[in-house]
Structure 1
Amino acid sequence: MPSGVYRLLMSIKKNWIIIFVVFLLLGLFSYHQYSAIPTKYVRTGARTVNLYTWNGDLWGEGIVTEDNPLWPKGERVSLPIYPMSISKEAEVGFSFNVSGNRVNLTFSRELRVLYYISYDKKRIVTETYSLSKNVSSGRGFEERLIVNISDISQRIKDLSSYLRLPRQESGIEVVGVVTYSGTVDGKNVAGNQTFKGSIELPFEGFYTILGDSQNRTITTTETHKTEVYTHSRKRVFYLLGLVLSGAVALTALGVGLGFRPDEGTLNRLELEAEASKFSKWISRGKLEDFTPVAKVRMSSLSDLVNAAIDMNARAIHDEEKGVYFVVHEGVFYYFKVGGEDRKKDEPSLQKDSGKP
C-alpha cells in the first residue's frame, strides 16, 4: 500500500466520526432535494384544429326537349353551349355538404332564378322567374329547379322592346343561399353562404350555363395539456451528491471500525517508497564484520544516498539486518530501518584480523 494512502487512512481514522456524520447529513439532504424536485409538470396551451369543412356547388345542365339525331328526348346533357332548337329547358341545382365529426345541422336554403334589365350597370327591372325554398337536417342537401330558357329569353325581349333603353344590358342569374346551424363534434356552429351563377345568351337561339363552386375549412381553438419533463440536471446533480456522500460516509465508517494503524507500518511504507525512488543508487549486499575508523548515523535514507553520490560510491542494503550503509575511507555511514532507540539502531560490528 502506498504510504500516502496509509497516511490518508490514518487521518480518516482519527476523524472518522465527524466525517461520517457530516457526509451522512449531506447524503440525507441530497436525497431530500432529489425527491422534492418534480420530474415533470403539465403545461396547458391552445392550438387551432380543423372543426369542419363545407363545400357547395351551383351547377346546371341542359334538358333535351326536341327530337334530334344526337340525344334522346328528356336526357340531361352537359355542353359548353346549348341550342334552344334542341334544349329549351335547363335544370339548375344547388348542393351543399359538411364534413366533420358528429355533424348535426339544420339547413334553410333557397334556390332562385331571376332575370334583369339594367342601364349604365344599374338595374331597372329584376324579376324572379322561379324559386324553391326548403328546410332539412343532416350533413347536407341538394336542391333542383327546371327553367324554361326559351320563355325567359322571350320575356327579356318583350321588356327590352317596351323599355327601349339605350345601352341596356340584360341577363339571367341563378342564386343559391344557405343558412345553417347546429352542432359539429359537440360544438355549436352557425353560418350562411351565397352562391351565384348565370345563364348567358351569347347568340340568338343559344345559351350557356355558368356555375359556382366554393369550399372552406372552419377551425376552432382547443385547450390541450402536455406533460413536460424538467429539472433533469438538478436531479442528476443531487443524485450524484447522494451517491458520493453515501460512499464517503460508508468508507469513513469502515475505516473507523476496521482499520488499525501504527507508526511502524507507516515508516516502513515511506521507507519503501523512498528506496524505490533511489533504486539506481542502491545495491543489495551483506554487512561483514569489520572495525571502522568511525561510524556516522544518517538521519534518513535520502541523506545516505546523497552522501554516497557525493563520495562517488553506492549505498548497500542489507535486508537481513535492515540497514543501508556506505563505507568510505574506513568510515561507516549507515541508516537503520525502524524507529528503535539509538543503541538498538547501531549495527553490531565486531573486530577481526582483516582490514575493512
Structure 2
Amino acid sequence: MNDQNVSDPEFKLRYYLDRYFTLVIAVLLVCLLISGWVTYVAYTDQQTETDEETLAVYDSTVDFQHSATAPEDNPLYAAGTELENQSVYFYRATPVVDGEFVYEYETTEPTDVEIETDLELVLRSTEEIDNDDEVLLEHWRQSETVGEETLQQEGSSGEHTIPFGVAIADLEHQLWTINEILRTPEQRPDDDLGSLPGDTEIAVVATTSVTTDLAGEEIEREEVNELVMDPQSGLVRVDERTETEPTEVIETSTDSVPPSVFSGIVIPLLALGSLVAVVGLAVVRSRGRVAPAPDRLRLYEEQRARKRFDDWISTGTMPEEHLQLPTTTVNSLADLVDAAIDTNSRVIEDEQLPVYHFVNGSTRYVYTPPTHLTTESSPTEGEVED
C-alpha cells in the first residue's frame, strides 16, 4: 500500500538518537568522567623506573694452601713424604701442617689499592646454635698473630701471600690442658675433650682490610677467611671456610615513565570526543535538529506497525457491497488489529484503496494510514526494522 520508506541511515540515526537521547548523554558523560580521570592520573601521578649502572667492581679470590711432611719413617709414610691439601692429616705421623694464605684481587679499572692481612692462630670452643643460619656461639678463645702482610700498589690486579705453620700435636695437647682446667672434678676422669659444651678446634684466621678508590668513590671492606682444623684421636680434619663477594660501585638514576599510548593518547582523545559529543548534541537538540520530521516519524512508525502485525493482516480487495456498509474509523493500525482480534476477524490491506479494514456484522472498521510526506522530508528506499 505504502511503498515509501524512511529507513535511510540518517533517519534511523536521528530516530534512535531522539528516542534514547537521555541514555546517550548519560553514557557520554560517564565516558567523559572516567576518561578524564584516567587522563588526569596518567599525567599527574607518573610512574618512575630506576636504572642501575655498574661503574666499577672490586673482586677478590682467597685460598689456603697447606701441606705436611713426615719428619721420619713411620708405619704410614717414609721420611720426607710430603702430603698436600689433604682433608685429613695424621698428626702423629706428620705433626706439623705448613701452609700459606693467598689473597688475590682484581678491579675493573687501574687504581691505588692498600691491602692489609693479619693472620692469627686461634684455639677455641664453638657451638652451633642456629642450624639454618649456621650461627656459632664461641665459648672461649685463645689467639696469637702468626703473620701479617701489607700490599700497596697501583693497578687493576695483584696478590700477596702469608706463610704459616701449625704444630698440630702440640696444639692438641694445649687444647686438652685447657679442657682439663675447665672440667669439674666429676668430669676429669673422662678423657674425652668433647665432654664440655661446644667443639674445640684450631683455626688459622685471615682478616683482610682493603682500602681503594673506584669510580671516584672510596671503598673500604673487610674479609675474614678461616682454615679450621678439628683434632680427633690422632688425626686432624681440615676445612676451608672462605667466602668473598664483589664490591660494586653502582650509579642509580630515576626516570619518569611516560604514559602509555593507551592512557596517554587514546584515553585523552576519548575524553575530548565525549566532551565534543555532549556539547554538540545539546546544541543540535536545542535547535530541534535531532528528532525526525513528524510526518516521516509517523510514516516510519506506521511501517513498523505493519511489519509487527503482519500475521493478522492479509492483502486483498474488499467486495463492493462491504464498502457501502456503515464505517467506524480507528486512529491506528494497532487499534484496528486489536478490534479484529476481539471479533475473530482478519484485517485486509486493500490493494485498490489506501486503507486497512475489516467487516464485523454490518459495520466496516477502517484505518487510513498516512500516504504522503512533506517535500522537506522526502523518504529513501530501504528496509524497515522492527
TM normalised by structure 2 equals: 0.51
Per the TM alignment, residue 263 of structure 1 is displaced from its structure 2 partner at its CA by 3.6
- Unpaired runs of at least 5, structure 2: 1-5, 123-139, 171-179, 182-201, 373-386
- Answer yes or no: is the 8 Å Cα contact 1:57–1:211 preserved in 2: no
CA distance in 2, matches of 1:253, 1:330: 55
Query: What's 2:376 paired with?
Result: none
TM normalised by structure 1 equals: 0.54
SS at 1:275's partner residue? Answer: helix
CA distance in 1, matches of 2:235, 2:358: 133
SS at 2:47's partner residue? Answer: strand
Query: What's 2:47 paired with?
Result: 41
Q: In structure 2, what residue type is equivalent to 1:92?
A: G
| Aligned with 2:312 (options 281, 297, 303) | 281
Query: What's 2:192 paired with?
Result: none
| Aligned with 1:9 (options 14, 20, 24) | 14
Per the TM alignment, residue 289 of structure 1 is displaced from its structure 2 partner at its CA by 3.8
Query: What's 1:161 paired with?
Result: none
CA distance in 2, matches of 1:322, 1:311: 23
Superposed, 1:85-234 pairs within 5 Å as 91-98=98-105, 101-102=108-109, 104=111, 105-109=113-117, 133-137=149-153, 139-145=157-163, 176=206, 178-184=208-214, 186-192=216-222, 213-217=241-245, 223-225=252-254, 228=257
Superposition RMSD in Å: 6.1
Per the TM alignment, residue 96 of structure 1 is displaced from its structure 2 partner at its CA by 1.4
1:334 aligns with 2:360: no
CA distance in 2, matches of 1:10, 1:122: 97
CA distance in 2, matches of 1:201, 1:109: 26
C-alpha change, 1:258 and 1:319, in structure 2 (3 Å) is: farther
1:56 aligns with 2:62: yes
CA distance in 1, matches of 2:52, 2:289: 63
C-alpha change, 1:302 and 1:200, in structure 2 (3 Å) is: closer
1:269 aligns with 2:297: no
Q: In structure 1, what residue type is equivalent to 2:151?
A: V
C-alpha change, 1:264 and 1:314, in structure 2 (3 Å) is: same
CA distance in 2, matches of 1:94, 1:272: 103
1:319 aligns with 2:319: no
SS at 1:217's partner residue? Answer: coil
SS at 1:179's partner residue? Answer: strand
Query: Which protein is bigger by CA-based radius of gyration?
Result: 1
- Answer yes or no: is the 8 Å Cα contact 1:53–1:215 preserved in 2: no
- Answer yes or no: is the 8 Å Cα contact 1:59–1:212 preserved in 2: no
Query: What's 1:117 paired with?
Result: none
CA distance in 2, matches of 1:272, 1:321: 17
CA distance in 1, matches of 2:312, 2:225: 110
- Unpaired runs of at least 5, structure 1: 115-120, 154-165, 341-356
CA distance in 2, matches of 1:211, 1:296: 117
- Answer yes or no: is the 8 Å Cα contact 1:97–1:141 preserved in 2: yes
C-alpha change, 1:238 and 1:199, in structure 2 (3 Å) is: closer
- Answer yes or no: is the 8 Å Cα contact 1:55–1:96 preserved in 2: yes
SS at 1:216's partner residue? Answer: coil
Query: What's 1:350 paired with?
Result: none
Q: In structure 1, what residue type is equivalent to 2:356?
A: Y
- Answer yes or no: is the 8 Å Cα contact 2:215–2:249 preserved in 1: no
